[in-house]
Amino acid sequence: MTPEDGDAILRNYFAPWIQELGLAVEEVGERHATVRLPWSESLAREGGGLCGQAMMAAADTATVVAISAARGGFVPMTTVQQSTTFQRPVTGKDVLVHVRITKLGRTLAFCDITLIPDGATEPSAHATTVYTVLA
């Protein structure tokens, strides 16, 4: 799978509301993927910071790209559990969503996701996801 294949997954399988996030696949590998969440005023809450809901949504969505890449293409899957911590505010920066698959089982997949503002070294948020992979 190429980043372009990843972008096609983002276009074809996600809700219109998720597509408004403008996510773009930067990199896909055997057990990882990086997706860019572009800064947008439409994602800024009162005070100017990136809303946490966009970070949770990006982590979940990027997981689908990573698992698809690991399986060689899109497969139906559903989120079982997502746990997210919010560690630092983000203002005016894209966020890079780094997904690492820590277990790809026959039916369950586990991922570790670090969200880091572009150019920064410390995470704005950190998530773990558990997915059921249906095929």
Under a CB-based contact definition with an 8 Å cutoff, are residues 123 and 98 in contact?
no
From 10, 23, 35, 60, residue interacting with its own copies (rule: CB under 8 A): 60
d(CA 96, CA 27): 11
Residue among 2 and 42 whose Cβ is closer to its own copies: 42
Map residue 11 onto helix, strand or coil: helix
Question: Shortest Cβ distance from residue 50 to its own copies (Å)?
Answer: 8
Contacts of 134 (CB under 8 A, 6+ apart): 75, 76, 77, 78
d(CA 83, CA 65): 18
DSSP H helix total and E strand total for the chain: 3, 6
Q: Which range touches its own copies (CB under 8 A), out of 65-73, 91-99, 107-115?
A: 107-115
Residue among 2 and 53 whose Cβ is closer to its own copies: 53
Q: Is 94 among the residues that bind its own copies (CB under 8 A)?
A: no
Give the residues lining the site for its own copies (CB under 8 A).
12-18, 20-21, 40-47, 51-54, 56-57, 60-61, 76, 78-89, 102-103, 107-108, 110, 112, 122-123, 126, 128, 130, 132
